[in-house]
């Protein structure tokens, strides 16, 4: 009986260790001062080869757009909307609409007005990542970006 238990345990360990957790997007953050009272927060997505994330600007009825949510703070105020570079756009026959996306790497930027000398810009990014055969469920990633 003990040998059977050990064999079962080894089989379970083998199955679990061979399972892959897909994480095709990694995020990096930094803040850059542009004046004494202003800064730009940069949020960079590095995307594995063959995968893509979607633009913030998609029409309803398509895949999940990338969304930035910033926590309110007395230390800073958002100055405008989060910007992105020009995405790749194509007509998707499944959705019957234009879809805009990013591959490899993309940097989103948010200008802020500082109310104090330093601040921590906190929030989350919600995004969906897909390749040619599958999409992973939308994911939330929290961030905290120091502005010095």
- pLDDT tens digits, residue range 49-73? 999 999 999 999 999 999 999 999 9
Count of Cβ atoms closer than 10 Å to residue 107 Cβ: 15
**In the prediction, which pLDDT does 21 show?**
87
Domain locations along the chain: 24-147
Maximum pairwise Cα distance, the chain: 72
Question: pTM for the complete prediction?
Answer: 0.85
Alpha-carbon gap, residue 76 to 73, rounded angstroms: 6
Count of Cβ atoms closer than 10 Å to residue 121 Cβ: 23
CATH code assigned to 24-147: 2.60.40.1250
Q: Which of 11-20, 34-43, 68-77, 100-109 has the lowest mean pLDDT?
A: 11-20
Q: Which of 13-22, 39-48, 118-127, 138-147 has the lowest mean pLDDT?
A: 13-22
Alpha-carbon gap, residue 45 to 128, rounded angstroms: 12
């Amino acid at each position: 009986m003990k040998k059977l238990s050990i064999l079962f345990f080894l089989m379970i360990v083998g199955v679990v260790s061979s399972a892959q957790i897909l994480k095709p997007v990694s995020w990096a953050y930094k803040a850059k001062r542009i004046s004494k009272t202003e800064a730009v927060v940069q949020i960079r997505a590095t995307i594995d080869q063959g995968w893509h994330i979607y633009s913030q600007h998609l029409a309803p009825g398509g895949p999940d757009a990338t969304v930035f949510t910033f926590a309110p703070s007395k230390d800073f105020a958002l100055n405008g909307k989060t910007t992105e570079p020009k995405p790749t756009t194509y007509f998707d026959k499944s959705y019957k609409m234009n879809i805009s996306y990013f591959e490899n790497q993309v940097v989103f930027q948010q200008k802020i007005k500082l109310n104090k000398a330093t601040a921590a810009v906190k929030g989350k990014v919600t995004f969906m990542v897909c390749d040619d055969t599958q999409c992973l469920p939308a994911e939330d990633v929290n961030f905290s970006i120091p502005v010095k």
